[in-house]
Structure 1
Amino acid sequence: MTLPPRLHAINEGLAFLIEIAALAVLAWWGWQSVESRVLGLLVAVAAPAAAAVLWGMFAAPRARIPVPLPGVLVVKAVVFGAASAALYAMGHVSWAAVAVVVAVANTALATLDRRAAMHRQA
């Protein structure tokens, strides 16, 4: 299934917004996860930084270590899953569910589109 160009662009833009939102949620969770403000700041920086490094190494379009599609999907599941778990842990159960649904739908569309494009090139 190849997405029409406009829908492809919208889905790619949404993917970027979801990725940024995941990092923001991880920072928010980090800030609120511990009593100490110093440790909270440390976790608020470390959690999204770890997710960004993982993403950049394996899941980004220009990843430092290219992996097959299943590997990319695992990294996306870890990062989006961590953000959703963070929302849930902070008591935002509905937002956690919305985050899961949006991330899965966006990733599924992108994956189908990517596979169709690879088959066209072959």
Structure 2
Amino acid sequence: MRIIKGANLFVMFLLELGVIAGAATWGFTLDGALLLRVVAGLLTPLLFIGMWALFGAAGNARYRLHGPWRIALELIWFGGGALAWGVAIGPVLGVLFFALWVVNALVRYFGDGTLQVEVGAR
């Protein structure tokens, strides 16, 4: 069980990086002037990072969310990343990204009874 839990946490980390990469990709591929694309490509990931740091980061979140609020955060955050990938690259990638998050969330929920990730939890 520890191997599955550890692998799932690694997948969650990769998904978190994927949200940031998707936000940047979306911004840099917008239609419009170069300045707009550069600003969107840099600021959008920063907004996502700020949201995760405030509400979602394991053990370090300023305002830790639980229950339905945690579900809403993850839907917005990972759903936003999936939407960014879907718009920037194609809908199939967006759907696959979101489906991978759903599987990850279900494994976390059924393994721990919560979506909250505890630092150093065994």
Specify the TM-score bucket, using the shorter chain as the normaliser: 0.7 to 0.9
2:69 alignment counterpart: 71
TM-score (norm 2): 0.85
How many residues are treated as equivalent by the alignment?
A: 114
Alpha-carbon deviation of 1:96?
A: 1.1
2:55 alignment counterpart: 58
RMSD of equivalent CA atoms: 1.7
User: Match of 2:27, SS?
Assistant: helix
1:120 alignment counterpart: none
Alpha-carbon deviation of 1:91?
A: 4.7
Contact 1:58 1:71 in 2 (8 A): no
Match of 2:93 among 75, 92, 95: 95
1:27 alignment counterpart: 24
Match of 1:111 among 109, 112, 115: 109
Q: Which runs of 5+ in 1 are unaligned?
A: 117-122
1:41 alignment counterpart: 38
- Which structure dedicates a bigger proportion of its chain to helix? 1
1:18 alignment counterpart: 15
Distance 2:41 2:89 in 1: 18
TM-score (norm 1): 0.85
Alpha-carbon deviation of 1:88?
A: 2.1
* Regions of 4+ moved over 3 Å: none
Which AA in structure 1 matches 2:68?
P
Larger radius of gyration: 1
Contact 2:25 2:88 in 1 (8 A): no
Contact 1:26 1:83 in 2 (8 A): yes
More displaced stretch, 71-80 vs 21-30: 71-80
Q: Which runs of 5+ in 2 are unaligned?
A: 115-122
Contact 2:22 2:85 in 1 (8 A): yes
